[in-house]
């Protein structure tokens, strides 16, 4: 298997970076397991504000148009963009609280583990000197650990050889020592569509949030939005289990 890091993947004007990730083969992501003995010493965790996904993706990489070379690929890419916009409008209309729901779910999961949890709004990592990594050196909290959580993907995917759409939610969870800024825990959690990401955690979404077509998804758009929120709860529950004392 040809393994490549995400930053080594070429950009694709037709498909965009997210689809490059899906189709490029096996790529690797950072993975650091929490030290159970160290977790037992942690008492206070400050969660940085979680921001909404930069975009919502509704993607079909198995569509019929894609079988007709570059022209078909362009047609399918245009269709994916249109479908993504339509579903994004549903989220906007419903004022779906994707970020706040994830924040609340993680906060609840950690509190159930016995941690004292606070939320830090207004502070965020800056771009590192290398131009691509996150630098947390300017973040100061009254806690033992800093928890940075963000969306990589949120939406629905119809994979190759399938006409069904399923949830596609990818969340990054990075816990750092508040003083040293060294990583204590770092996971990429994929709920729903199973991506080709080495070291990522793959979790199934509830089968009731599968749709036979884009029209079917839009016909049940309220449920489809609920499916994304349910995926967030699944990811938060997994984070809680990983950090359980």
User: What strand order describes the sheet that includes 4-5?
Assistant: 4-5, 27-28, 197-198
pTM: 0.84
User: Span 166-186, mean pLDDT?
Assistant: 95
The predicted-structure confidence for 41-82, as pLDDT tens digits, reads as follows 789 999 999 999 988 999 988 654 444 344 344 556 788 889
Q: How far is CA 99 from the centre of its chain?
A: 11
Q: Can you tell me the distance from the alpha carbon of 224 to that of 242, in angstroms, rounded to the nearest whole number? A: 28
Euclidean distance between CA atoms 221 and 215, whole angstroms: 9
CATH number at residue 212: 3.30.160.150
What total number of domains does the chain contain? Answer: 1
Nearest by Cα to 58 from 181, 175, 224, 226: 224
* Paired tokens of 49: 């504000």
Residue 31 pLDDT more than 90?
Answer: yes
Domain hosting residue 139, numbered range = 4-243
């Amino acid at each position: 298997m040809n393994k490549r890091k995400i930053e080594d993947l070429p950009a694709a004007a037709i498909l965009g970076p997210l689809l490059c990730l899906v189709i490029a083969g096996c790529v690797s992501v950072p993975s650091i397991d929490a030290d159970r003995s160290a977790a037992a010493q942690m008492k206070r965790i400050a969660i940085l504000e979680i921001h909404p996904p930069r975009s919502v993706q509704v993607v079909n990489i198995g569509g019929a148009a894609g079988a007709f070379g570059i022209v078909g690929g362009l047609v399918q890419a245009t269709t994916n963009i249109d479908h993504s916009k339509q579903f994004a409008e549903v989220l906007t209309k419903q004022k779906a609280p994707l970020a706040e729901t994830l924040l609340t779910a993680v906060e609840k999961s950690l509190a159930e583990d016995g941690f004292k949890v606070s939320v830090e709004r207004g502070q965020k990592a800056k771009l590192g000197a290398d131009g691509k990594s996150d630098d947390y050196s300017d973040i100061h909290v009254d806690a033992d650990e800093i928890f940075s959580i963000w969306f990589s993907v949120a939406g629905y995917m119809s994979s190759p050889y399938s006409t069904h759409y399923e949830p596609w939610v990818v969340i990054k969870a990075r816990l750092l020592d508040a003083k040293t800024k060294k990583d204590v825990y770092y996971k990429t959690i994929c709920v729903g569509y199973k991506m080709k990401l080495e070291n990522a955690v793959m979790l199934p979404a509830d089968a009731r949030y599968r749709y036979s077509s884009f029209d079917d998804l839009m016909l049940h758009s309220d449920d489809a939005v609920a499916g994304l929120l349910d995926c967030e709860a699944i990811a938060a529950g997994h984070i809680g289990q990983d950090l359980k004392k």
